[in-house]
Structure 1
Amino acid sequence: MIKGFRQRAERRVLMAAEQSVGEELRGLRARVPQVAGALAATVDGFVLAEDMAPARTGERPEAEPLAALTAAALGLAFRMNEATARGAFRELLIHGELGYVATYAAGSSAVLTLLADDRINVGRLHLEGRRTAARIGALVAAVQGPAAPHPVGDRPSPEHRPPLERRRLPLERRRRNAPAPE
């Protein structure tokens, strides 16, 4: 009973960010025309906002099943990261015959999934996807406030993991060849 109440309360809070998140998705699709669809969802598979164009087959992907599949893929990617000691989940890229599906962590409560044509520059996809995911994560965090509960799931509690910002520092230092802090 308490778990259900918590999930409903969390969904109401996240839905308050829907308009701002939708604007972010539309902005991303305007900047990168090869992105045919963008979906922001909660980590448990509920749609926050979506901006989808019809696929090559003429059918428009449905947001709800895609959000549920994203949550399932997120769970698998998270477990694979842990099993292989690769640190915290950041992104997942699937390359199919007709294009890409890219999923990015957007804070601790949301995820961004992008559907891109096969002719996209993958570096540009990652650049724009990471930036948009960071903005969506910030929007969701601002709506949730400091007292928001951590998402329910198999993930370790935040007390057992360093903040996302600290987990990303080593990779960023390697890219810039910056020395580690003392």
Structure 2
Amino acid sequence: MAAEAGVVEELRGLRARVPRVGGALAATVDGLVLAEDIPPAQAGQRQPEAEPLAALTAAALGLAFRMNEATERGAFRELLIHGELGYVATYAAGPAAVLTLLADENINVGRLHLEGRRTAGRIGELVGHVQRSTAARPAPEAPPPDRRPPLERRRQPLERRRRGTQGSE
């Protein structure tokens, strides 16, 4: 995707501004990785892999969308998971992408939200710009229409086709 370099730049910028964010991932709402900035694991920790994290994000989004619908809370904006060792925060990045951040337990959650929302907005613009430019390209020509009779009529025995009758054998 042409926006990938810009998205990686946004992820790195966010991690530079908020040192307690230990990893950042941009993905499609379908769970495909757009870009990642997840450093190598430190001693005693396991580094999360981007592809499974993107897939889990898509699954969590499905539940979040349903919860929003069931409770009539409007469009999805963000999802925050607070675990014993830190946070996983997911933010809508336009209609087609999401931003997932991995943060330490000691992070200022207000700062996490502030930077996460801003970065998600910029990523949404980058991804949306690429989608709009791709949509502006002319579509390939459609194949000529099929001028043959409908499939059910073609499967009839020859004598019925000649008489113009339809029915079962």
TM-score bracket, normalised by the shorter chain, equals: 0.7 to 0.9
**Hey, what does 2:163 align to over in structure 1?**
none
**Hey, what does 1:33 align to over in structure 2?**
19
> What is the letter of the counterpart of residue 62 of structure 2?
G
> What is the letter of the counterpart of residue 118 of structure 1?
E
**Residue 22 in structure 1 maps to residue 8 in structure 2:** yes
Moved over 6 A (4+): none
**Hey, what does 2:70 align to over in structure 1?**
83
> What is the letter of the counterpart of residue 111 of structure 1?
V
TM-score of the superposition, structure 1-length normalised? 0.71
Q: Describe how 1:37-56 pairs up with structure 2 within 5 A.
A: 37-53=23-39, 54=41
> What is the letter of the counterpart of residue 136 of structure 1?
I
> What is the letter of the counterpart of residue 70 of structure 2?
A
TM-superposed deviation, 1:16: 1.8
Q: CA–CA distance in 2 between the matches of 1:80 and 1:56?
A: 37
Q: What is the alpha-carbon root mean square deviation over aligned residues?
A: 1.3
Question: Which consecutive unaligned segments of at least 5 residues does structure 2 have?
Answer: 136-169
Q: CA–CA distance in 2 between the matches of 1:113 and 1:63?
A: 10
> What is the letter of the counterpart of residue 71 of structure 1?
A
**Hey, what does 1:138 align to over in structure 2?**
125
> What is the letter of the counterpart of residue 123 of structure 1?
G
* Deviation digits for residues 68-115 of structure 1 (CA, Å, limit 9, x no counterpart): 000000111001000000110000000000000000000000000000
Whichever structure has more helix as a proportion of its residues is 1
Contact 1:40 1:112 in 2 (8 A): yes
Number of equivalenced pairs: 134
Question: Which consecutive unaligned segments of at least 5 residues does structure 1 have?
Answer: 1-14, 149-182
Q: Which has the larger radius of gyration?
A: 2
**Residue 74 in structure 1 maps to residue 61 in structure 2:** yes
Q: Describe how 1:31-180 pairs up with structure 2 within 5 A.
A: 31-53=17-39, 54=41, 57-145=44-132, 148=135
Contact 1:25 1:51 in 2 (8 A): yes
